[in-house]
Amino acid sequence: MNIARRDVPSEIPTASMADVAFLLIIFFLVASFYSVTRGIQFSLPRHDEEAFTSEPEAAVLIVISRDGALTVDGRSMPLTELIGYLHPRVSRNPEKSVIIQTSMDAPYHAMTDVFDELRQAGVGNVVIPTSAEMALYGLQEPQ
């Protein structure tokens, strides 16, 4: 008696692998939207000449150089004296603008330290000028 043999094709079923790969792609796409961003959240302003109404003479200009040194209204100043310098000016005029001009190579902590000091001094109007605004008001890139 002959037994009929069926030849089973020796193929790997790829349909289920494609389903698994597709589900993994969907999972990673969805999971990437839930990543946590750490640090200071702020967006840089777009250039708008009408929005920048503070004159540099009326505002306090803080320049942060690439080595983290501060220059406030043209004179060198340590970070510890910044609150004492700003407090009388802000108490006379609470809407006084403070312009922070920073070098592209300045350490990140130097800017965050200045922001902390401004918050402690009660400054509410902080301006970070764009390159076009710096050119408009004759400000140069700090060294």
Tell which residue, 139, 116, 140, has the closest CA to residue 56: 139
DSSP conformational letter for 106: S
At 57 the pLDDT is: 46
Extents of the domains making up the chain: 60-136
What tokens does 110 get?
A: 């130097």
Residue 23 has pLDDT above 90, yes or no: yes
Task: Report domain 60-136's class.
Answer: alpha beta
Q: How far apart are CA 104 and CA 65, in angstroms?
A: 9
Look up the pTM and report it. Answer: 0.58
Tens-place pLDDT, residues 28-70? 988 887 766 666 666 666 666 655 554 444 788 899 998 989 9
Residue 119 has pLDDT above 70, yes or no: yes
